[in-house]
Amino acid sequence: MAEEQRVTVGLPDRGYEVRIGEDILREVGPEAAARRLGPHCAILTDENVETLHLDVVVESLQSAGIVTHVVVLPPGEGTKSFAHLEGALRTLVRSGLDRHGFVVALGGGVIGDLGGLVAALFYRGIPCVQVPTTVVAQVDSSVGGKTAIDIPEGKNLVGAFLQPAFVLADTRTLQTLPPRAWAEGFAEIIKHAAIRDPEMLDTVDALEDRNDLVALIARNVAIKARVVEEDELETSGVRAYLNFGHTIGHAIETAAGEGTLLHGEAVSLGMRAELFLSERKCGLPAASTTRVLSSLRRFDLPVVLEAGLDDEAILATMARDKKFEGGQMRFVLLSALGAPQIHREVSLADVRDALAVLREPCGV
Ligand SMILES: NC(=O)c1ccc[n+]([C@@H]2O[C@H](COP(=O)([O-])OP(=O)(O)OC[C@H]3O[C@@H](n4cnc5c(N)ncnc54)[C@H](O)[C@@H]3O)[C@@H](O)[C@H]2O)c1
Ligand SMILES: [Zn+2]
């Protein structure tokens, strides 16, 4: 019997279970049937995941007596668009799915975000099962109920909250991830460690290959679950701690231009900059910065900003970022590893200094 762990997301009336295990894709059918999610479903996936993992999921649902319809979308962030949202919704109607059906989002965060929104909108809302197949999706996007598409004015600006009916994370699916996609997921894991669980950095450093991931993924799901339980709709500020490294990281990602840096790579850079700000503003010991940087380097994540990107482009992007409240910059900074706080007294000069530090060799 392969190892499996379960994490419960305890929300009033909307609580659900996240199953994390090796080789558990075929559990999706029995689990959906046991929960009586409906007699038919639409599996949303992308072309890459279709080739690798779709068959097992279809077979599992059909063996459980559930009729399946499959919608295959192109891979990539471009799929989180109004055009693909409309296309998917109309395909579901034409396939005969109705309000007794449910959605299975099989893929990375792109499919999870779009599939969740399709489920939230179809017949004013049907259940959604998340079957995440990337590190990012397993430790972050599949848990918490945020769904979204992008518009030209910005990413994730149109969406809804829809907590999934259950989440099934099969760590075996991560074996097929390309190296950069694998590594970028660890930027979010290292972020979780920095804000909530510093000892996890040792676990991450000790990882030798892609086996025995169940405990590590479950530990991250639990971190995300606790944050979501405390602040489901991001109103109290606790959920905002997950944005550590993202204020500057997201600006770098956008300023670098579509397809240059992966999200996790930009967050890695953002974390170095925000660790520096944490030292300056909150007294984070320099040794803590070094500790985090060493884990990032272990996954070949970038920690030095390339020469091509100038400060003004990054600052202009930051000024447009939705993380700004009333014109004030809002940062998640650490007074110690595991001790985040929201900080509003970061000046433009501080950010410029952080970017200057980011251009220096890191020496770790
Ligand atoms: N809702 C949230 O709370 C939340 C949190 C974090 C990120 N996100 C969103 O998630 C998206 C990023 O997710 P992502 O990093 O998973 O990217 P992704 O979904 O684009 O997947 C990355 C690439 O890996 C491929 N892939 C997926 N699973 C694979 C597998 N098992 N083997 C081989 N290839 C596979 C995909 O086809 C794609 O090309 C962004 O749109 C981001 O906004 C949402
Ligand atoms: Zn992120």
* pTM: predicted TM-score of the whole model, two decimal places: 0.96
Task: Render 26-42 in DSSP notation, one character per residue.
Answer: GGHHHHHHHTT--SEEE
Q: Tell how far the Cα of 189 is from the centroid of ligand 2, in angstroms.
A: 10
**Which bound ligand lies closest to the C-alpha atom of 139?**
1
Q: Tell how far the Cα of 332 is from the centroid of ligand 1, in angstroms.
A: 24
What average pLDDT does range 221-243 have in this prediction? 93
DSSP classification of residue 328: B
Whole-angstrom distance, CA of residue 132 vs CA of residue 173: 9
Answer yes or no: is the C-beta of 228 below 6 A from any ligand 1 atom. no
Size (the chain), residues: 364
Whole-angstrom distance, CA of residue 28 vs CA of residue 269: 37
Return the domain boundaries, the chain.
4-176, 179-358
Question: For residue 135, which atom of ligand 1 is closest to its CA?
Answer: 16
**Which bound ligand lies closest to the C-alpha atom of 246?**
2
Question: For residue 146, which atom of ligand 1 is closest to its CA?
Answer: 1
For residue 114, pLDDT beyond 90:
yes
In this predicted structure, what is the pLDDT of residue 1?
A: 47
What mean pLDDT, rounded, does the chain reach? 95
* CA-derived radius of gyration, the chain: 20
| CB 153, CB 1: distance < 8 Å | no
| CB 242, CB 191: distance < 8 Å | yes
Fold of 4-176: Rossmann fold (3.40.50)
Whole-angstrom distance, CA of residue 67 vs CA of residue 61: 7
**Which bound ligand lies closest to the C-alpha atom of 156?**
1
Nearest CA to ligand 1 atom 20: 76
Helix, strand, coil % in the chain, rounded to nearest 5:
50, 20, 30
For residue 323, pLDDT beyond 80:
no
In this predicted structure, what is the pLDDT of residue 326?
A: 59
Answer yes or no: is the C-beta of 73 below 6 A from any ligand 1 atom. no
With a pLDDT cut of 70, the percent of the chain lying above it is: 97
Answer yes or no: is the C-beta of 69 below 6 A from any ligand 1 atom. no
Whole-angstrom distance, CA of residue 149 vs CA of residue 132: 17
Nearest CA to ligand 1 atom 9: 109
With a pLDDT cut of 90, the percent of the chain lying above it is: 87
For residue 343, pLDDT beyond 80:
yes
Whole-angstrom distance, CA of residue 203 vs CA of residue 213: 11
**Which bound ligand lies closest to the C-alpha atom of 74?**
1
Q: Is 114 helix (H, G, I), strand (E, B) or coil?
A: helix
Q: Tens of pLDDT along 38-90? A: 999 999 999 999 999 999 999 999 999 999 999 999 999 999 999 999 999 99
In this predicted structure, what is the pLDDT of residue 327?
A: 60
| CB 27, CB 2: distance < 8 Å | no
For residue 362, pLDDT beyond 80:
yes
For residue 321, pLDDT beyond 80:
no
Answer yes or no: is the C-beta of 109 below 6 A from any ligand 1 atom. yes
Between 3.40.50.720, 1.10.357.10, 1.20.1090.10, 3.90.226.10, what CATH number should domain 179-358 receive? 1.20.1090.10
Q: Tens of pLDDT along 146-190? A: 999 999 988 899 999 999 999 999 999 999 999 999 999 999 999
Using DSSP bridges, classify how beta strands 146-151 and 128-132 pair: parallel, antiparallel or unpaired: unpaired
